[in-house]
Structure 1
Amino acid sequence: MMNLNGFIYRLPKEVKLLIGAFLVVLSVGYFTGLTFVNDTTENHPQGIQENYLGNEEDLEAEVMKFKKPEREMLTIVHTHILSMSVIFFLLGGLVAMAKIKIGIKKFLLLEPLVSVLVTFGGIYFMWSGLYWMRYVVMISGILMTTSFVFSVLLVLFQLIQKTPSQ
């Protein structure tokens, strides 16, 4: 059976460089998306709800928002689940090669994929009328982002180390 734990240290320099460049570009894309989320929701549960369900009843709103149609919601959920599952699958492959305690590794491998389903499924359920899901969406989004940041930093750190730390 092949043991991947710590395999990242044995990769050739050019592969480490490729992985490092990929993680930097991936992070720029991820945090650009988070900037968009902040602009459209103000990182607040009420903002999340208004972004998908509108705010027409709020006559004092700075920006008028309308409920998204079902086709748009299905497109948002579909594209995000597919693209983010690929992102976290690739990042998970890199984490699998890192030297880290197995419990933390399992968490970093699985949590972001669960959070993708919970976040975007939660957005759809919120849009369907379960308004309390806005809190679930926010918490799962925070967990997903925390896992992303920790995973990227872990892999980048281990890419630049000469030998595993004990």
Structure 2
Amino acid sequence: MIYNGLLNTFPSEIKLFIGAFVVILSIGFYSGLLFVNETTESNPGGIEESYLGNEQDEDAEVMKFKKSKREMLTTVHTHILSMSFIFFLLGALVWITKLPKKLKLFLTVEPFLSVILTFGGIYMLWSGMLWMKYVVMVSGMLMTLTFTMSVLVVLLQLFKKQATT
């Protein structure tokens, strides 16, 4: 089966449908990042404070408490499930773009590793492995990078004029 470059051969109305999906998916993804920045200030200390609280810090402007086990399980469960669907659907679109197979493999498999490292790392951080905040931060950045690259590839190839032969 030939699927490399298949995306560009779709009719314009299907391309528009896929483009609208990818744009809305991106709005959801990046608004989630705004929330992460708001709650963690995008730094390791903020990540730790978000899940473990800051009750010991007398100078804290906003008091935060350690998340309960139920809150942690809900966060990890919902994020792993939803992010898996996001990266599966986006990955399916990446596989029908025209790119080298190794790059497609990286863009479509790496996010699943990052999802496990990010949200498993958050749970492990909450469990007391404080160094996991660095794993969470790096894997979250890598997940965002692969998401962004995948979205750009799909959108650029969706609306690229098909070469006539």
TM-score class, shorter? over 0.9
Tell me which residue corresponds to 1:93.
Answer: 92
- 8 Å Cα contact 2:84-2:112 kept in structure 1: yes
- Determine the C-alpha separation between the residues in 2 that align with 1:101 and 1:62: 50
- Determine the C-alpha separation between the residues in 2 that align with 1:91 and 1:16: 14
TM-score, normalised to structure 1's length?
0.97
- Determine the C-alpha separation between the residues in 1 that align with 2:159 and 2:2: 21
Tell me which residue corresponds to 1:154.
Answer: 153
- Determine the C-alpha separation between the residues in 1 that align with 2:99 and 2:64: 45
- 8 Å Cα contact 2:9-2:162 kept in structure 1: no
- Determine the C-alpha separation between the residues in 2 that align with 1:163 and 1:25: 25
Percent identical: 61
Give 5+ residue unaligned stretches, structure 1: none
- Determine the C-alpha separation between the residues in 2 that align with 1:132 and 1:58: 20
Tell me which residue corresponds to 1:16.
Answer: 15
Aligned CA-pair RMSD: 0.7
- Determine the C-alpha separation between the residues in 2 that align with 1:103 and 1:140: 20
Give SS of 1:94's match. Answer: helix
- Determine the C-alpha separation between the residues in 1 that align with 2:43 and 2:149: 23
The Cα shift of 1:3 comes to: 2.0
Tell me which residue corresponds to 1:49.
Answer: 48
- Determine the C-alpha separation between the residues in 1 that align with 2:147 and 2:34: 15
**Where has structure 1 moved over 4 Å in runs of 4 or more?**
none
One-letter amino acid of the counterpart of residue 47, structure 1: G
Q: Kindly tell me the number of residue pairs found equivalent between the two proteins.
A: 163
One-letter amino acid of the counterpart of residue 97, structure 2: A
Map 1:24-35 to 2 at 5 A: 24-35=23-34
Give SS of 2:7's match. Answer: helix
Give SS of 2:150's match. Answer: helix
Give 5+ residue unaligned stretches, structure 2: none
The Cα shift of 1:89 comes to: 0.1
Deviations 1:95-128 (A, max 9, x none): 0000001111100010011100110000000000
- Determine the C-alpha separation between the residues in 2 that align with 1:140 and 1:107: 14
- Determine the C-alpha separation between the residues in 2 that align with 1:68 and 1:78: 15
One-letter amino acid of the counterpart of residue 106, structure 1: L
- 8 Å Cα contact 2:48-2:133 kept in structure 1: yes
- Determine the C-alpha separation between the residues in 1 that align with 2:34 and 2:108: 25
- Determine the C-alpha separation between the residues in 1 that align with 2:144 and 2:108: 13
> Greater CA deviation, 126-135 or 3-12?
3-12
Q: Are 1:124 and 2:99 counterparts? A: no
